[in-house]
Amino acid sequence: MTLNVLNTLEINDIHQLDQFRSKWWELLAGTPNATFFQTLEWLEVYWEYFGNDQLLRVLVVGDPEQPIGILPLVVRSEQRRIGKVQVLTYPLDDWGSFYGPVSDHPRQTLLAGLNHIKHSDQTWELVDVRGVPSEDIDPAVTSEVMQLAGFQTRPSVRAESAVINVSGTWEEYFSQRTSKWRNNYRRWFRRLHEAGTVRYERYRPLGEKHSDIDPRWDLYDTCEELAAASWQGSSTDGTTLSHESIRDFLRAAHEVACRLGCADVNLLYSNDQPIAFAYNYVLNGNVFGLRIGYDPEISKLSPGNLIYALAIEDSFKRGDLVFDLGPGSLEGKRYFCSNFEPIWQYTHYRPQAVRAQLLKLRDQFQDWWNATKMMPQGTNQSKTLQVLP
């Protein structure tokens, strides 16, 4: 692959990005599989709450008046066993599954951005490009482009996400589930209807272009209340809607999502009492499941499974394209998803950084150790050791 290296403008002040807002949206419209997390507006909210101890490095590629792409990057300090390490990465911060350049020329944008990073001040110790889809569907061809830019990388799977293709029909999707799942699905609904009146509500404001930006805080607050009552409410990782460490951030992001037409609130009621919620983001038919929860007192009615099923069926009817249930809790999602998509990361260790080289040695040892554990019994490991670099 031959790609031309283009001029790159680096922006370090979040407020200076406002001048590129309209161009950002133009580029986002052509970005393959774009998500709410790639909007400038999400980045602004994220930066307001989490940007204090990070360095913003947004790269505008090409003519600033008509750029071909924008590459949002940050440098953050991450704690490792050997101490804090400066990591250059995407700003996604594991809020979503996948990320990449904002551009309909993602390969050229990524290459130009990486060349700029390579030849500018290297305050980072690791370049860790995270949230990358599999090579066969990665529009930026991240692995190959990093090699072209001179970044030797270690690929690894950071997580897996449960993804559903909702471009067909619900009937086709339903017929492809196992007979056991279909029987369970019918039983869940029967038992729920036997318990009383059932109501499912999905709220998707159209956004400011259509004068439809009402955040419907009544619905969002109900999601929060269910989250606090669920098993997640007592967890210590601080990741549910109601946790103080992220509550204000998620509420601010919700308001922005409603303004952009990217909010997707799902609620299930029994006898007019909320029993389950699924809070998602949506952009151009790409749905991402951010959080889900249900009333634990009626867990026997499988409200979590039902809210998933109802949202998925409704997405087929609405003409959505992809429903990403997100990483984590994959055992419960495997009955719904079309496939588990690996979330790749490509790590480059700066040669002149001592801590980076120590991490590289550790990771190489871990790779070797994982490989030896996968060897068939009877393999001569001593011979294998001799050919290791």
Tokens of 306: 């039902």
Q: What is the pLDDT of residue 4?
A: 46
What mean pLDDT do residues 112-126 have? 94
Q: Provide the residue count of the chain.
A: 389
Tokens of 234: 């007592």
Burial class of 180 by CB neighbour count within 10 A (0 to 12, 13 to 18, 19+): exposed
**Angle at Cα 273 formed by Cα 271 and Cα 275, nearest 5°?**
110
Burial class of 144 by CB neighbour count within 10 A (0 to 12, 13 to 18, 19+): middle
Q: What is the pLDDT of residue 76?
A: 97
| Residue 309 pLDDT > 80 | yes
Tracing tokens 């007979």 back to the chain, one arrives at 179
Grade residue 135 by pLDDT with cuts at 50, 70 and 90.
Answer: very high
**How far apart (Å, rounded) are the C-alpha atoms in residues 80 and 43?**
25
Tokens of 178: 């196992």
Q: What is the pLDDT of residue 66?
A: 95
What mean pLDDT do residues 127-139 have? 95
What mean pLDDT do residues 168-192 have? 94
Which helix (H) or strand (E) segment is 43 a member of?
A: helix 40-50
Beta strands (DSSP E) in the chain are 8-11, 54-63, 66-80, 83-89, 126-132, 154-165, 198-203, 263-270, 273-283, 286-294, 322-327, 339-349
| Residue 14 pLDDT > 50 | yes
What mean pLDDT do residues 87-112 have? 97
Q: What is the pLDDT of residue 385?
A: 30
DSSP of 100-161, one letter per residue? --BSS-HHHHHHHHHHHHHHS----SEEEEEEE--TTT-TT-HHHHHHHTT---EEEEEEEE
Give the residue from 137, 218, 205, 169 showing the smallest Cα distance to 316: 169
Grade residue 382 by pLDDT with cuts at 50, 70 and 90.
Answer: very low
| Residue 5 pLDDT > 80 | no
What mean pLDDT do residues 170-191 have? 94
Q: Is the Cβ–Cβ distance between 129 and 325 less than 8 Å?
A: no
| Residue 157 pLDDT > 90 | yes
Q: What is the pLDDT of residue 235?
A: 65
From residue 182, give the alpha-carbon distance in Å to each of 62, 171, 187: 52, 11, 9
Percentage, residues of the chain above pLDDT 70: 93
**Angle at Cα 275 formed by Cα 271 and Cα 279, nearest 5°?**
130
Q: What is the pLDDT of residue 232?
A: 67
**How far apart (Å, rounded) are the C-alpha atoms in residues 367 and 283?**
37
| Residue 302 pLDDT > 80 | yes
| Residue 31 pLDDT > 70 | yes
Q: Mean of the per-residue pLDDT values for the chain?
A: 92
Rounded to the nearest 10 degrees, the angle between the axes of helix 244-260 and helix 40-50 is 160
pLDDT, greater one: 372 or 352: 352
Q: Are strands 286-294 and 322-327 parallel, antiparallel or unpaired?
A: parallel
Q: What is the pLDDT of residue 376?
A: 62
What mean pLDDT do residues 161-187 have? 94
pLDDT, greater one: 375 or 84: 84
**How far apart (Å, rounded) are the C-alpha atoms in residues 344 and 363?**
15
Percentage, residues of the chain above pLDDT 90: 84
What pTM was computed for the model? Answer: 0.92
Residue 301: how many CA atoms within 13 Å on its side-chain side?
22
pLDDT, greater one: 375 or 224: 224
Tracing tokens 């607050």 back to the chain, one arrives at 221
Helix ranges (DSSP H) in 282-353: 303-318, 330-333
What mean pLDDT do residues 92-100 have? 97
User: Phi then psi for 93, rounded to 5 degrees?
Assistant: 60, 35
| Residue 231 pLDDT > 80 | no
- Going along the chain from its start, the domains and CATH numbers come out as 8-159+343-386 (3.40.630), 167-320 (3.40.630.30)
Compute the Cα dihedral for 149, 151, 155, 158 and give only its sign: negative
